[in-house]
Amino acid sequence: MAKTIGLLTGGGDCPGLNAVIWSVVRAAAHEGIEVLGIEDGFEGLIAGGTVRKLGPAETRGIHREGGTVLGTTNRGNPFRYRTEQPDGSVVETDCSDDVVRAVRRLGLEGLITIGGDGSLAIAHELSKKGVPIIGVPKTIDNDLSATDNTFGFYSAVTTAMEALDKLKTTAESHDRVMILEVMGRDAGWIAIASGLAAGAHCILIPEIPYRTDVVLERIRSRWAEEQRNYTLIVVAEGAFSAGGDKSYVQAAGVGTVARFGGAGHQLQAALEAAFSEGWDRRRGVPEVRTTVLGHLQRGGSPGAYDRIISMRFGAHAAQLAAAGKWNRMVALQGIEIGSVPLAEAIGKQHLVEADGQLVQTARAVGICMGDRWP
Ligand code: F6P
């Protein structure tokens, strides 16, 4: 009887999920393995969940498409499964045994789980309960430590870079300070990569708390020394001022993580306050506008790099399953695709090094990182 494995996508979506699905299905078929697609992450394995057979015919052409044909959720943790009560309160239950039973009932030899830190942590806990797992690292945030890159990251960076390119022309036309807030949670990867690619004047990341007076000085130096009346600033959603706090729109709740939001507008308010107090008004006061790029960064087709890395991850995951090498996460190691034990892949964030090469490059080309200027 042919071996059967389950495949699911968990957590927030990102460009390249469908390319991984496409690739797992094809590489598995090549190894004589059947794939059952599990809908809506681990929810598909909890009572009432849906699974369906996925073969090359069912996945034709999806590698070009954004999103995930399997659906996903960042609220379906089976160990802390949330159900809303009639009075509006939320109760958490441990449904992990349901997942274990479903895996056995469906005759799955194991699961390929495509997800970020949250989904991979769940996968690791399930592996301890005897469910064989292979993880595939996904997230636009690029914040997983055991892989040099996650898929989805460069597509998000391209979206942010294009937004900055567009903001530049309108900033220049109106002599404005333009702030772009980008995603990334506690990591500043999208901000620094897009800011470098677009040549932003100021990049603010969570790893380097910024000072408003330094940002102000950078804006002033553009006006005074460079005779340029616009400034382009990219701010990571997790960035914060020295002595200040990160900005959230929603605190962490039962089984949910906190939602970031507000970093860009917080900086705008601080700059506007500073302009009204200490700015030399003879040159006019710059107007500030903030754009929050939001979920545009997660949508759309994956770029070439992400398609290729997704396909390589997916094929490698299927090959590991065929070889019975479970409880590992596929990983990019230099230019090679390898794998690491699942236990090593979780719990450690991959952050931008405050004195690393990327930051040094930004400083070398005249980009202010918010902590000092010049
Ligand atoms: O982790 C990916 C991510 O896009 C973060 O950068 C962002 O903070 C978060 O997801 C937003 O998630 P949600 O889908 O809950 O709005």
Same domain membership, residue 314 and residue 265 = no
- The pair of structure tokens assigned to 179 is 């702030």
- Per-residue model confidence (pLDDT) at position 347: 86
Nearest to 181 by CA among 91, 95, 296, 70: 296
- Mean pLDDT in residue range 234-240: 98
- Per-residue model confidence (pLDDT) at position 75: 79
Question: Per residue in 287-321, pLDDT tens?
Answer: 999 999 999 999 999 999 999 999 999 999 999 99
- Mean pLDDT in residue range 129-136: 98
Tell me the CA–centroid distance for residue 227 and ligand 1, in Å.
38
- Per-residue model confidence (pLDDT) at position 1: 61
- In this structure, of 217-221, 226-230, 302-306, 348-352, the range with the lowest mean pLDDT score is 226-230
Same domain membership, residue 273 and residue 236 = yes
- Supply the pTM of this predicted model: 0.96
Number of domains in the chain: 2
Nearest CA to ligand 1 atom 14: 12
Pocket test for ligand 1, best of 119, 140, 144 (most atoms within 8 A of CB): 140
Tell me the CA–centroid distance for residue 191 and ligand 1, in Å.
14
| Paired residues of 34 in beta bridges | 4
Bigger pLDDT: 88 vs 103? 103
Same domain membership, residue 148 and residue 88 = yes
Same domain membership, residue 359 and residue 220 = yes
56 lies in some domain: yes
Q: Pick the catalytic residue: 13, 40, 141, 143? A: 141
At 359 the three-state DSSP class reads: helix
- Per-residue model confidence (pLDDT) at position 43: 92
Q: Find where tokens 């039962």 sit.
A: 254
Same domain membership, residue 184 and residue 138 = no
Q: Find where tokens 């399997």 sit.
A: 70
What value does the mean pLDDT of the chain take? 95
374 lies in some domain: no
Question: Per residue in 250-294, pLDDT tens?
Answer: 998 766 789 999 999 999 999 999 988 877 777 678 899 999 999
- In this structure, of 73-82, 158-167, 292-301, the range with the lowest mean pLDDT score is 73-82
Range of the domain at 262: 156-297+353-364
- Mean pLDDT in residue range 234-260: 92
Same domain membership, residue 291 and residue 175 = yes
* 302 CB within 6 A, ligand 1: no
